[in-house]
A = this chain, B = another copy of it.
Amino acid sequence: MGRYFEAMTYANVGLLEASTGNRDALVEILTRPSAELADAGCLLYEVGVNDDDPEAVFVAELWVSAEAHAASLQLPGVQAAIAEARPLMSGRMEGMRFDVLGSPLRE
């Protein structure tokens, strides 16, 4: 059975680990309001934590396309946030990326 869905959006999910004591500062940077992201095609950008992984900051993003996501990394505001966040990070990063094919919440 071939691929019968058309890819709709693009999901980028992962975690960025803060260096000890810097998790909340990293959350603050990542949750700072940014009109730039929505203009760039960001549909969802949820930031959170899980106390079972005490220094990790989790991000779940949906984008109109993989290209829109890739292009967003060059935006001035995003580059500035990356530069500000980098010193607060341990270097451990994990992630999953996928093309969305559908949802049980949509007909």
Instruction: Write the residues of chain A forming the contact surface with B, with a CB cutoff of 8 angstroms.
Output: 1-5, 7, 9, 11, 13-15, 24-25, 27, 30-34, 37-38, 42, 44-50, 56, 58, 60, 62, 94, 96-107
Contact = CB atoms under 8 A, between A and B. Distances in A.
Contacts of A60: 11, 13, 60, 62
A7 B44 contact: no
Contact of A99 (B34, B37, B48, B104): B48
A2 to B, nearest CB: 8
A72 to B, nearest CB: 11
Q: How many copies does the complex hold?
A: 2
Given A45-B104, A103-B31, A15 B58 contact: no
A46 B61 CA distance: 11
A37 B104 CA distance: 8
Contacts of A48: 7, 11, 98-101
A27 B101 contact: yes
A2 B98 CA distance: 34
